[in-house]
């Protein structure tokens, strides 16, 4: 584990490495950002955003919180998504959960967790929505893994409910929304292959915010 002082030494090495390949690296970086991806993931220290996708500075707009939730009254997440869609014009929004997620685990545990209660209640609600499927899984680890996946799917649906996303798709055909799970055991990204257009269609029956555009 790096000591606090080593972080600055690491930073110096990183600068040397970046400018070694391209002396104008930071000049170009400072100019603007034009990422194609918005990544919404868990704050878990083991699930890095850029590194696991092999992306560098400027390539992905990132939002992370406990258990990668997209909640309509979370001003932080909503601002990130609106900015990414309307100003950065990202082509893809990725919601990435991960197995062994402490937030999802906590939501499966009957305990008072203070300020985390209202946050984790979002996941408990997902459990309630999918109770019959989840309760039919007798293996606790498998049930936990499945809740991680269902949480990602539900957060993708929450992204699609957002007006900026619906309007973007109606006008430009993007952003596309993708649900992923990161498997800590082998480092693999698993695409849950959410049928974006089908979900969007279903969502628009009830949550349509495009005011009749493109109908």
Is 44 an interacting residue with respect to Zn ion (CB under 5 A)? yes
Active-site residue (options: 42, 63, 145, 156)? 42
Is 84 an interacting residue with respect to Zn ion (CB under 5 A)? no
Shortest CB 100 distance to Zn ion, Å: 8
When the beta carbons of 11 and 43 are compared against Zn ion, the nearer one is 43
State yes or no: is 145 an active-site residue. no
State yes or no: is 46 an active-site residue. yes
Closest among 172, 214, 163, 174 to 196, alpha carbons compared: 174
| Residue 207, burial from CB neighbour count under 10 angstroms (0-12, 13-18, 19+) | middle
Q: Pick the binder of Zn ion from 38, 40, 42, 150 (CB under 5 A).
A: 42
The per-residue DSSP string of 202-215 comes to: HHHHHH--STTTT-
Instruction: Find out whether 183 is annotated in a ligand binding site.
Output: no
| Residue 180, burial from CB neighbour count under 10 angstroms (0-12, 13-18, 19+) | buried
Stretch of 98-106, 123-131, 140-148, 189-197 contacting Zn ion, by CB under 5 A: 98-106
Instruction: Find out whether 101 is annotated in a ligand binding site.
Output: yes
State yes or no: is 208 an active-site residue. no
Shortest CB 50 distance to Zn ion, Å: 17
Is 154 an interacting residue with respect to Zn ion (CB under 5 A)? no
For residue 181, count other CB atoms closer than 10 A to its CB.
Answer: 22
Question: Under a CB-based contact definition with an 8 Å cutoff, are residues 95 and 155 in contact?
Answer: yes
| Rounded alpha-carbon distances, angstroms, from residue 180 to 18, 40, 90, 102, 147 | 29, 10, 17, 17, 13
Shortest CB 43 distance to Zn ion, Å: 7
Stretch of 52-60, 99-107, 133-141, 157-165 contacting Zn ion, by CB under 5 A: 99-107
Q: Pick the binder of Zn ion from 40, 70, 84, 101 (CB under 5 A).
A: 101
- State the Cα–Cα distance between residues 68 and 102, nearest whole angstrom: 11
Q: Is the peptide bond before 175 cis (omega within 30 degrees of 0)?
A: yes
- Binding-site residue set: 42, 44, 98, 101
Which residues form the catalytic set?
Answer: 42, 44, 46, 98, 101
């Amino acid at each position: 584990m790096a000591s606090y002082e080593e972080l600055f030494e690491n930073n110096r090495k990183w600068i040397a490495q970046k400018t070694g390949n391209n002396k104008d690296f930071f000049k170009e970086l400072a100019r603007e950002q034009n990422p194609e991806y918005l990544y919404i993931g868990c704050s878990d220290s083991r699930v890095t955003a850029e590194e696991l996708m092999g992306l560098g500075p400027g390539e992905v707009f990132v939002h992370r919180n406990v258990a990668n939730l997209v909640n309509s009254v979370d001003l932080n997440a909503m601002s990130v998504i609106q900015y990414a869609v309307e100003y950065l014009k990202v082509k893809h929004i990725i919601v990435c959960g991960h197995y062994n997620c402490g937030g999802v685990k906590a939501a499966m545990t009957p305990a008072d967790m203070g300020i985390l209660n209202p946050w984790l209640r979002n996941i408990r609600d997902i459990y309630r929505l999918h109770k019959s499927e989840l309760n039919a899984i007798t293996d606790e680890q498998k049930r936990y893994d499945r809740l991680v996946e269902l949480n990602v799917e539900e957060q993708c649906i929450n992204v699609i409910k957002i007006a900026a996303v619906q309007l973007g798709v109606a006008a430009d055909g993007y952003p596309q929304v993708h649900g992923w799970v990161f498997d800590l055991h082998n480092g693999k990204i698993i695409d849950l292959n959410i049928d974006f257009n089908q979900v969007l269609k279903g969502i628009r029956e009830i949550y349509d915010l495009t005011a009749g555009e493109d109908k």
